Amino acid sequence: MPSTLAASTMEVVGYSAVCLTTAAFLPQAVRTVRSGSTRDLSFPTFSMLSAGTLLWLIYGIMRRDGAVIIANAITFPLLTTIWALIARDRWRARSCQG
């Protein structure tokens, strides 16, 4: 079992990672929602990121790991919002072609 100092250090590292990874993705989410443009975004990439983030969220809940839960509980809705916008735009493009 880690010492109190080691446990505190792990918490700081975990929550620092939460802040950095979530903050790094936020500008893309805001830009996509504001512009409404998903032209340059990959549907398969966002599909895999959304699924992976959901799995990380479930993992964090199962392990009761606050840092993992917070990071993925914030990131998952952002990813799925962009995923939904990409899906909508792809569906509209196909509808206009046919």
Dump pLDDT digits (tens) for 71-95: 999 999 999 999 999 999 989 888 8
Q: Identify the sign of the CA torsion 48, 92, 85, 80.
A: negative
User: Which residue, 32, 36, 19, 35, is CA-closest to 75?
Assistant: 19
pLDDT at 93: 85
Name which residue leads in pLDDT, 98 or 25: 25
Residue 1 DSSP label? -
Read off the pLDDT of residues 21-58 as tens digits, 9 standing for 90 and up: 888 888 888 888 898 888 888 889 989 999 999 999 99
What is this structure's pTM? 0.78
Residue 40 DSSP label? T
Instruction: Say how many C-beta atoms besides its own lie within 10 A of residue 29's C-beta.
Output: 17
Give the tokens for residue 90. 């792809």
Question: Per-residue pLDDT averaged across 3-18, rounded?
Answer: 85
